[in-house]
Structure 1
Amino acid sequence: MSSAAPTRLVLVRHGQTDYNRDGRLQGQVDIPLNETGRTQARAVARAVAQNPPDLILASPLGRALETARTIGEACGLPVSTDQALVERGFGQWEGLHSDAIRARWPQQLADHREHRRVDGLGIESREGVAERFAASCLRHVGENPGQTVLIVAHGAAITLGITELLGLHTSEFRGLAGLENCHRSVLEPLSADPEGRRMRLLSHNLSPDFT
C-alpha cells in the first residue's frame, strides 16, 4: 500500500457581507466582509490551522481575499490570487433583491431558476463558470501533487465548480447544496479517471469551527 500523502482540494466560501445579510445578489460586485464575516473568517482560520494546507489561493474579490488572508495568518502561509476563481457574473441583477428582479424580469428569473440560459443581461452561463472554476482547481491541484490546496471563493462559483469536477451536468443536476458563509468542502482526485479531470467529494458544507 502506498504511503504517499493524498492530494486534497479544500474549497472555502468567504465570510458574510452586508449583501449576504440583506439578501442582495452579489455577483462580481466587490463587497467587503462585515463584522459577522470577519468573525466567521477567524473561526474557520482556527479550524483550518489545526491541519493546515500547503498553499492558499483566493478569488481577488475583497471578501474572498480577506477571508483567505485571515486563514493564511493563522497557518503562516501567503495567499495568491487567481482571476478564474471570481464569483459568477450576474450582470444587471447584481446588487438587487430577488423581489426587484422578479418585478422587472419575471420570465428571465423563472428561466434562471430552472437553470435555463438567460441572454441579454450580462449573466455568465452556468457552464462557463463551472468550466473556468474547475479548470483552475485542476491546474493548482495538478501542480501540487501530494499536497492540500485550499481555495477561498464564492457560493455560486464553488457549487458549479464542484458539479463540474464530479462530472455532473451543470444545467440539470440540482442535488448539491450551496456552501454557507465560511463553510468548506473537501475533494480529492478520482483515481479511476485516467484523464485527471474528475474528483470525488469527501465532505461538504463543513461549519467554520469543524476541526
Structure 2
Amino acid sequence: MTRLIVWRHGNTDWNAGGRVQGQTDVPLNDVGRKQAVEAAALLAVLRPDAIVASDLRRAADTAAALAARTGHTVSYDERLRERYFGAWQGLTTAEVAAQRPAEFARWKAGNDVVGGDVETLDDLGKRVADGLQDAARLVPGGLVVVATHGAAARQGVAHLLGWPLEQVRTLRALQNCHWVELTSDGERGWQLAGYNVGVFIDRPVPPAV
C-alpha cells in the first residue's frame, strides 16, 4: 500500500495578516518555523521514504524541517505551488472584497472561474494532482511526504479522489502545518485516511490563499 502525506506549510506573516499569497514567495515567520519543527517530529515517527515540496520558500523550508530529522534530500516540484491568484496577490481579503467585489463573491461561492487572472480550480486540481501522483511513484508501496499549500492541497487531493466541487467545499481549510493522509492499494485507487492531522493549535484557521 502506498501512503501519501499532503502537508500544508507553516505560518507566514501574510497568513497572519489575512493577505493573499498565491504564488508570491513569502517566507515562514517565527511561528511557522516552530510549527514546522513540531510537525516534523510527528511525521518523522512515520518513517517517510521520500520528501517532495513546492519550490516556494514557505513549503520548501517546512519540508527542510522534516529532512533535518530524517536525513532525506528534498525534491522540488513547481506543480505543487499554491493557486495563482493573479491581481489579488499582495492584497488582504478585505481589500479584495472592497476592490473586486464580483470576483470575491465568485470565490466565496466556490466557483471554478473567479476572474482577475485567478487560476481556475480545475486547472489547480489537475496540476497539483499530477505532482502528487508523480511524488507517490517515487516509492511505490512506501510513504511519501509532500509539503505544499492550503488551496493546492485541498484541490489536488480532491482531484485525486474524483470529488466534485460541491463536495470539496465540505472540507474545512487545512491549518498551517497540518496534513491530509491518502492511501492507495492499487485496486480501489486513492482513499482518504485522515484530514487536518497535526499538532493541535487553538487559533483561527488562516485562509488557504
TM-score, scaled relative to structure 2: 0.90
Query: Which of 74, 94, 114 does residue 118 from structure 1 map onto?
Result: 114
Contact 2:20/2:89 (8 A) holds in 1 = yes
Which residue of the partner structure matches residue 42 of structure 2?
Answer: 47
Deviation at 1:51, TM superposition (A): 1.9
Which residue of the partner structure matches residue 207 of structure 1?
Answer: 198
Query: Which of 51, 55, 76 does residue 71 from structure 2 map onto?
Result: 76
Structure 1 unaligned regions, length at least 5: 1-5
Report whether the alignment pairs 1:93 with 2:84: no
Q: Distance in 1 between matches of 2:84 and 2:15?
A: 16
Alpha-carbon displacement from aligned partner over 1:102-161 (angstroms, at most 9, x marks no partner): 111111110111122123x21000000100111111122134211101000000000001
Alpha-carbon displacement from aligned partner over 1:77-107 (angstroms, at most 9, x marks no partner): 1101001000000011011112111111111
Deviation at 1:40, TM superposition (A): 0.3
Residue type at the aligned position of 2:147:
V
Residue type at the aligned position of 1:53:
P
Query: Which of 177, 183, 198 does residue 178 from structure 2 map onto?
Result: 183
38-47 or 181-190, which deviates more = 181-190
Contact 1:127/1:171 (8 A) holds in 2 = no
Which residue of the partner structure matches residue 3 of structure 1?
Answer: none
What's the secondary structure of 1:123's corresponding residue? coil
Inter-CA distance 173–66: structure 2 relative to 1 (3 Å threshold): closer
Identity over aligned pairs, percent: 37
What's the secondary structure of 2:168's corresponding residue? coil
Contact 1:115/1:172 (8 A) holds in 2 = no
Q: Distance in 2 between matches of 1:200 and 1:72?
A: 26
What's the secondary structure of 1:131's corresponding residue? helix
Alpha-carbon displacement from aligned partner over 1:39-95 (angstroms, at most 9, x marks no partner): 001001111111220000000000000010111001111101001000000011011
Residue type at the aligned position of 1:37:
G
Contact 2:2/2:185 (8 A) holds in 1 = no
TM-score, scaled relative to structure 1: 0.90
Deviation at 1:166, TM superposition (A): 1.3
Structure 2 unaligned regions, length at least 5: 201-209
Report whether the alignment pairs 1:102 with 2:93: no
Size of the alignment, in residue pairs?
199
Q: Distance in 2 between matches of 1:103 and 1:93?
A: 12
What's the secondary structure of 2:96's corresponding residue? helix
